[in-house]
Structure 1
Amino acid sequence: MQNRPDLPRSAINPQLVWTGFIAMCVGMFMAILDVQVVATSLPTIQSALDIDPDQMSWIQTSYLIAEVVAIPLTGFLTRLLSMRWLFVTAIALFVFASIGCATSGSFGELVAWRVLQGFSGGTLIPSVFSAVFILFPNERQAVATTIAGVLAVLAPTVGPIVGGWLTETYSWHWLFLINIVPGIVSALVAGRFLPRQRIDFSELRHLDGLSLVMMATALASLELSLKEAPTSGWTSLYVMSLLALFIASGCFFVWRGLRQARPVIDLHNFQDRNFLVGSVLSFVLGIGLFGSVYLMPVFLAFIRGHNALEIGATMLVTGIAQLVTAPIAVALEKRVDARLLSVAGFALFAVGLGMSAFQDPRSDFGAMFWPQIIRGVAIMFCLLPPTRLALGTLSPDRIPDASGLFNLMRNLGGAIGIALIDTIIYTRSEPLGQKLWERLQSGDAETAAFIGAPAQIMAGHMGAFDANATAVLDPLIQTAASVEAMNEAWLSIAILTGCAILFLPLARKIEPPQ
């Protein structure tokens, strides 16, 4: 594949590059933060715009579908517009769409702006990680990756507290308006300080429109099927039709892409063993990272009854641990084999996820503290070394496509992880509740303590409960059954995260950056 030549690193002023790169990271942070702050305030938006409860999830789904379609297109868009102009255009559209969201007066109008917001925001993450390996020499890549990685995983952590505070202090409009000033500043700074390359409109002549449509169809149908499967059932006609559409369009896209000299996305990157292993690790990290960020607010909101501000304060523990660990991760990456660091990171992350699989209906900040600390420490070792494995040995002209695929794998892992979690919660809560009733009726003291059954009801009890006792115990058992289902979900994603270690022996050793 022919690409425009990259600007030699020796010709770039290091201070100016760092300034432009930091601006890119700020734009990426705002795009990731936007997803979480909106998620915490959906009920407020629903009430304000009089949205049907069945349609409310489309506020998020429309953004996520557009984002997942945009991510793998980052390579093509970089070749077309250059890294500098792609970022400036994407962040400008993101700001414009944010203004549109804030001024929306109806459900349809808001969803339309969310699509544009998701598509423009989707290119920002892979653009930033591409910049790490294109702009910086080996000895600076670990620091640059750390800055990008910290912001990428910190945004979902601080999202609930930011969203809750904005909604309670001001209004839901500010969930979108906060993007304007940082977005404009990052666009101006990046446009001024990033290396200048020419726009190459000849790339449009090589764009395969049919492959683009097939890719978008495959990714959109997969996202929709994963969203609907937990509630509608994996074997429902609607979900099965979506999965069939995903398989058919996806297979056609792969077949066509592998046969073309200038494909929309260069799937040949997967022939590189280290990139393949790194992408698998990125996929697995998505399951654990997105899964944990999803499960904690669900538990704290529906089991403990906390508001968005309280949830955000609890989840800050992970972010603080991650920030403290970041400089240690950078120092170790310069001295230790990336494969060994990845093994340690994923093993520790799996332990942190597994520790949350033993919660009861009264678990709160104290019970969640150490699991969050361990996960926060582990995250940087699950992100930095796999990124180097995947992208660190590729030539600069291959990195934009590869970065898009690498980040797409993490998002797909997150979507599948959340679908798995929802499926477990929806399908396991009822049978677990029945088992709790059976154990309670047999006089099991441990079960009574777990659900928090009043002592006066359990005193000397054996057999069926009367109507009054049943009325008291039923909500307790439903809550306890939901907790047990969530514990099974925690354990499932912990096991899947641990399985990432099995792939690391397949990777080749790469020398740590000096």
Structure 2
Amino acid sequence: MSTPTYTPLQPLQGSARMWGTIALSAATFMNVLDSSIANVSLPSIAGDLGVSPNQGTWVITSFGVANAIALPLTGWLSQRFGQVRLFTMSVLLFVLTSWLCGLSPNMETLIAMRAAQGFVAGPMMPLAQALLLSSYPPALAGMAMALWAMTTLVAPVMGPVLGGWITDHTHWGWIFYINIPVGLIAAFITWTIFKKRETPTRQLPIDKVGLTLLVIWVGALQIMLDKGKELDWFHSGEVIALGLVALIGLAFFIAWELTDAHPVVDLKLLKLRNFWTGTVAMAVAYSLFMGNLVLLPLWLQQFMGYTSTQAGMLMAPVGLFAIILSPLVGKNIQKFDPRALTTFAFVVFSLVLYLRSNFNTQADFGTIMLPTVIQGVAVAFFFIPLTTIILGGIPPEKIPSASGLSSFARIVGGSFGTSIAITIWQDRAAIHHAQLSELVNIGSSATNSALAGFGAAGMGTEQALSQINRMVDQQAYMLAANDVFYGSAIIFLLLIPCVWLARPKRAAAGGAGAADAAAGAH
């Protein structure tokens, strides 16, 4: 079938442009908010649905994996249905799946609905960018992207605070129900303003084999990472089977995608030095970022006595410096070497995690918050320069594929990082618990002193020993969290040479690249 002729649309004017920008930004805000709002609510969700908080991390990883799988399909779907129609459908389906998430009676249903929610959310971010850019004249494209980028940076600040407040004051389901009015209004305004600006459609072949293999290997690997701990890893036949499925699926996926005429993921882009070095650095760094972002509120709520609201307040400042500095970084990116800016970001991330690795159970609110505030600086200097490296020198017709593949790697990295961080945290906690327990014995003056103190408080021997075990647990999980923070700090420093393998072209940094970077900031 021949490609339809397409005349570029004239920019929107006046109130239509203003309301169009608001609607697209609101939909983006809702999408990004949902990737962070559940973080501080995990213990409450898990407790209400009768599973462990660690199993509750599936609520985050299922969304991320499904979202990543849907991203490469955006180009095909938008040409099949049209950008405006696809975006509106995506928002309405997101509203429906959000409602079903809130109604979920058990963890299995919630995970399934979160996966569906993540999948239908896939096209929203790239299409919001495309529609927004078509609404503004080229001279104002930078401003349009800055407005849109602010949305993606405000949402992670609001997410933990809003999620914490909702969880403490009403049913956790409302963290999903709040999407309903926002989504319906955004979809109505978008369709009203943009329906006459629909892009041409055409029938395109879809890489069904590649898509199936993608779902199989990514899904098997994520399930293996999430269930490995409870099944005792490779002592379990199920984990071994999942690992083999993931490995064989990945091998077949690579072989198929490199030979198919219309691959769902264009792996040939990995031949480009800037692309593969930037994508690897982005995926690994984002996995560390997300893993620690989920671990911190879990530790605070389970072992430090923080409420969901307090944990949310502690997580929120990560966006403050990011909101202030990101527009400055985006505006001046062409004046600096993006490798140097990324190196600065990684050093700051490493410093933040090093500060966290020195926490103890006596750490107060201000001590725990300080690294979170500093982390916002790293976020601002991380996404925009790295995306400039990734997309630098890529032909314009390959930009959508490159952006989709790098976003896929980033989101999958975030989901894997979450599972790996929680697993290592648990394993290190078990080791620390065993080591600390050896020190609790009848010959220890500290043990006898503690038992005497609990006895004076009216506790029986069993109650006193239970209290000591709780204290050992608290110390063990704190030391384990410190281990994860310290290890992550080292890996950030080890990533710096990877960034310097790139040879970025200064002129490649543009508004769209900065916007893609901002899209990653959640």
Q: TM-score range by the shorter chain?
A: 0.7 to 0.9
Q: Which amino acid aligns with 1:502?
A: P
Q: Retained in 1: the 8 A contact 2:41–2:164?
A: yes
56-65 or 289-298: bigger deviation: 56-65
Q: 1:486 aligns with which of 478, 481, 494?
A: 481
Aligned partners of 2:382, 2:314: CA distance in 1, in Å? 22
Report how far residue 214 of structure 1 moved. 0.9
Report how far residue 88 of structure 1 moved. 1.9
Instruction: Give matches, 1:231-270, under 5 Å.
Output: 231-235=230-234, 236-270=236-270
50-59 or 312-321: bigger deviation: 50-59
Q: Which amino acid aligns with 1:221?
A: A
Residue ranges of structure 2 left out of the alignment (5+ in a row): 454-460, 511-522
Report how far residue 442 of structure 1 moved. 12
Aligned partners of 2:372, 2:56: CA distance in 1, in Å? 30
Q: Retained in 2: the 8 A contact 1:69–1:220?
A: no
Cα-to-partner distance string for 1:166-209 (whole Å, 9 max, x where unaligned)? 24444334222211222123323444249935342411xx1122
Instruction: Give matches, 1:48-447, under 5 Å.
Output: 59-60=59-60, 62-103=62-103, 110=110, 112-128=112-128, 147-152=147-152, 154-191=154-191, 192-193=193-194, 196-203=197-204, 206-235=205-234, 236-437=236-437
Q: Which amino acid aligns with 1:36?
A: S
Aligned partners of 2:402, 2:144: CA distance in 1, in Å? 18
Q: Which amino acid aligns with 2:403?
A: S
Q: Retained in 1: the 8 A contact 2:29–2:155?
A: yes
Q: 1:497 aligns with which of 474, 492, 495?
A: 492
Q: 1:360 is paired with a residue of what secondary structure? A: coil
Aligned partners of 1:422, 1:92: CA distance in 2, in Å? 33
Aligned partners of 1:6, 1:441: CA distance in 2, in Å? 79
Aligned partners of 2:128, 2:161: CA distance in 1, in Å? 25
Report how far residue 383 of structure 1 moved. 0.7
Q: Retained in 1: the 8 A contact 2:274–2:503?
A: yes
Cα-to-partner distance string for 1:280-303 (whole Å, 9 max, x where unaligned)? 222023123212211210121012
Q: Retained in 1: the 8 A contact 2:291–2:422?
A: no
Aligned partners of 2:312, 2:245: CA distance in 1, in Å? 38
Cα-to-partner distance string for 1:373-400 (whole Å, 9 max, x where unaligned)? 2211110111111122223543443232
Q: Retained in 2: the 8 A contact 1:93–1:116?
A: no
Aligned partners of 1:345, 1:392: CA distance in 2, in Å? 19
User: In the alignment, which residue of structure 1 is the partner of 2:516?
Assistant: none
User: In the alignment, which residue of structure 1 is the partner of 2:518?
Assistant: none
Aligned partners of 1:482, 1:3: CA distance in 2, in Å? 59
Report how far residue 482 of structure 1 moved. 0.9
392-401 or 175-184: bigger deviation: 392-401
Aligned partners of 2:50, 2:473: CA distance in 1, in Å? 29
Report how far residue 309 of structure 1 moved. 0.9
Residue 212 and residue 114 in structure 1: after superposition, are their counterparts in 2 closer, same or farther (change >3 A)? same
User: In the alignment, which residue of structure 2 is the partner of 1:475?
Assistant: 470
Residue 430 and residue 57 in structure 1: after superposition, are their counterparts in 2 closer, same or farther (change >3 A)? closer
Aligned partners of 2:117, 2:125: CA distance in 1, in Å? 14
Provide the alpha-carbon RMSD of the alignment. 3.7
Report how far residue 335 of structure 1 moved. 2.2
Q: Retained in 1: the 8 A contact 2:11–2:136?
A: no
Aligned partners of 1:264, 1:14: CA distance in 2, in Å? 36
Residue 324 and residue 153 in structure 1: after superposition, are their counterparts in 2 closer, same or farther (change >3 A)? closer
Q: 1:262 is paired with a residue of what secondary structure? A: coil
Aligned partners of 1:491, 1:141: CA distance in 2, in Å? 41
The TM-score with structure 1 as length reference comes to: 0.84
Aligned partners of 2:417, 2:71: CA distance in 1, in Å? 19
Aligned partners of 2:361, 2:200: CA distance in 1, in Å? 57
Q: 1:361 is paired with a residue of what secondary structure? A: coil
Q: Which amino acid aligns with 1:504?
A: V
Q: Retained in 1: the 8 A contact 2:451–2:465?
A: no
Aligned partners of 1:472, 1:47: CA distance in 2, in Å? 22
Q: 1:509 aligns with which of 498, 504, 507?
A: 504
Aligned partners of 1:112, 1:438: CA distance in 2, in Å? 43
Cα-to-partner distance string for 1:122-169 (whole Å, 9 max, x where unaligned)? 332344566788888997666555555554454344323212322444
Residue 106 and residue 315 in structure 1: after superposition, are their counterparts in 2 closer, same or farther (change >3 A)? closer
Report how far residue 101 of structure 1 moved. 3.4
Q: 2:265 is paired with a residue of what secondary structure? A: coil
Cα-to-partner distance string for 1:23-58 (whole Å, 9 max, x where unaligned)? 33332221232243345445655677x666698666
Q: Which amino acid aligns with 2:188?
A: L
Residue 66 and residue 477 in structure 1: after superposition, are their counterparts in 2 closer, same or farther (change >3 A)? same
194-203 or 370-379: bigger deviation: 194-203
The TM-score with structure 2 as length reference comes to: 0.82
User: In the alignment, which residue of structure 2 is the partner of 1:462?
Assistant: none
Q: How much identity, in percent, do the aligned residues show?
A: 28
Residue ranges of structure 1 left out of the alignment (5+ in a row): 458-465
Aligned partners of 1:115, 1:511: CA distance in 2, in Å? 39
Residue 314 and residue 383 in structure 1: after superposition, are their counterparts in 2 closer, same or farther (change >3 A)? same
Q: Which amino acid aligns with 2:406?
A: F
Report how far residue 456 of structure 1 moved. 7.7
Report how far residue 19 of structure 1 moved. 5.8
Q: 1:358 is paired with a residue of what secondary structure? A: coil
Residue 73 and residue 477 in structure 1: after superposition, are their counterparts in 2 closer, same or farther (change >3 A)? same
Report how far residue 111 of structure 1 moved. 5.0
Report how far residue 507 of structure 1 moved. 1.7
Q: Retained in 2: the 8 A contact 1:288–1:353?
A: no
